[in-house]
Amino acid sequence: MSDQVQPQEMKRKASLVREGVVISDKMQKTVVVEVSRLMQHRTFKKIVRRKVKYAVHDENKEAKVGDKVQIILTKPISKTKNWKLVKVLAK
Protein backbone atom coordinates (compact mmCIF):
# COMPACT_ATOMS: atom_id res chain seq x y z
CA MET A 1 0.00 0.00 0.00
CA SER A 2 1.47 3.36 -0.97
CA ASP A 3 1.72 6.43 1.25
CA GLN A 4 0.00 8.63 -1.33
CA VAL A 5 -3.59 9.64 -0.60
CA GLN A 6 -5.96 8.08 -3.11
CA PRO A 7 -8.52 10.35 -4.88
CA GLN A 8 -11.52 8.31 -3.70
CA GLU A 9 -10.23 8.45 -0.11
CA MET A 10 -9.89 12.24 -0.36
CA LYS A 11 -13.43 12.59 -1.77
CA ARG A 12 -14.83 10.47 1.05
CA LYS A 13 -13.06 12.55 3.70
CA ALA A 14 -13.58 15.94 2.06
CA SER A 15 -14.69 17.50 5.34
CA LEU A 16 -11.49 16.33 7.02
CA VAL A 17 -9.15 18.24 4.67
CA ARG A 18 -7.47 21.42 5.91
CA GLU A 19 -5.13 24.02 4.41
CA GLY A 20 -2.45 25.76 6.44
CA VAL A 21 1.08 27.09 6.61
CA VAL A 22 4.13 25.12 7.73
CA ILE A 23 5.68 26.79 10.78
CA SER A 24 8.27 24.13 11.70
CA ASP A 25 10.11 21.38 9.82
CA LYS A 26 12.82 20.50 12.34
CA MET A 27 11.59 16.98 13.11
CA GLN A 28 12.18 13.88 11.01
CA LYS A 29 9.20 13.13 8.73
CA THR A 30 7.03 15.58 10.72
CA VAL A 31 6.06 19.19 10.11
CA VAL A 32 3.95 21.50 12.24
CA VAL A 33 1.14 23.17 10.29
CA GLU A 34 -0.82 26.15 11.56
CA VAL A 35 -4.41 26.36 10.34
CA SER A 36 -6.22 29.63 10.99
CA ARG A 37 -9.90 30.45 10.59
CA LEU A 38 -12.10 33.46 11.14
CA MET A 39 -15.06 33.25 13.49
CA GLN A 40 -17.45 35.61 15.21
CA HIS A 41 -17.07 36.05 18.96
CA ARG A 42 -20.14 34.75 20.75
CA THR A 43 -20.66 37.72 23.07
CA PHE A 44 -19.00 40.69 21.40
CA LYS A 45 -19.83 39.76 17.77
CA LYS A 46 -16.34 40.77 16.66
CA ILE A 47 -14.55 38.74 13.98
CA VAL A 48 -11.56 37.00 15.59
CA ARG A 49 -8.86 34.74 14.17
CA ARG A 50 -8.45 31.29 15.74
CA LYS A 51 -5.30 29.24 15.12
CA VAL A 52 -4.68 25.52 15.61
CA LYS A 53 -1.35 23.71 15.24
CA TYR A 54 -1.27 20.17 13.84
CA ALA A 55 1.63 17.70 13.79
CA VAL A 56 1.59 16.37 10.22
CA HIS A 57 3.33 13.30 8.79
CA ASP A 58 5.55 14.25 5.83
CA GLU A 59 7.04 11.01 4.51
CA ASN A 60 9.16 12.53 1.71
CA LYS A 61 10.21 15.71 3.58
CA GLU A 62 8.86 17.92 0.80
CA ALA A 63 7.36 20.74 2.91
CA LYS A 64 9.51 23.61 4.17
CA VAL A 65 8.80 26.51 6.54
CA GLY A 66 6.44 29.03 4.95
CA ASP A 67 4.89 26.61 2.44
CA LYS A 68 1.10 26.49 2.12
CA VAL A 69 0.02 22.84 2.34
CA GLN A 70 -3.06 20.66 2.26
CA ILE A 71 -3.46 18.00 4.97
CA ILE A 72 -5.93 15.19 5.58
CA LEU A 73 -7.04 13.36 8.73
CA THR A 74 -5.81 9.75 8.97
CA LYS A 75 -5.59 7.02 11.55
CA PRO A 76 -3.15 7.80 14.40
CA ILE A 77 0.48 7.59 13.28
CA SER A 78 1.96 8.42 16.69
CA LYS A 79 0.88 10.03 19.95
CA THR A 80 0.40 13.47 18.41
CA LYS A 81 0.24 12.80 14.64
CA ASN A 82 -3.20 12.17 13.15
CA TRP A 83 -2.71 14.19 9.95
CA LYS A 84 -0.90 13.40 6.72
CA LEU A 85 0.46 15.77 4.07
CA VAL A 86 -1.52 15.61 0.81
CA LYS A 87 0.36 18.16 -1.29
CA VAL A 88 2.27 21.42 -1.19
CA LEU A 89 0.06 24.15 -2.64
CA ALA A 90 2.56 27.02 -2.73
CA LYS A 91 6.24 27.35 -1.92
The reported pLDDT for the residue numbered 10 is: 56
Q: What is the pTM of this model?
A: 0.81
Domains and CATH numbers, the chain: 7-90 (2.40.50.140)
Mean pLDDT for all residues in the chain: 90
Name the band, by pLDDT with cuts 50, 70 and 90, for residue 82: very high
The model's pLDDT over 49-78, given as tens digits with 9 standing for 90+, comes to: 999 999 999 999 999 999 999 999 999 999
Q: For residue 13, is pLDDT > 60? A: no
The reported pLDDT for the residue numbered 12 is: 57
Q: For residue 44, is pLDDT > 60? A: yes
The reported pLDDT for the residue numbered 19 is: 96
Percent helix, percent strand, percent coil in the chain, to nearest 5: 10, 55, 35
The CA distance from 54 to 89, in Å, is 17
- Diameter over CA atoms, the chain: 50
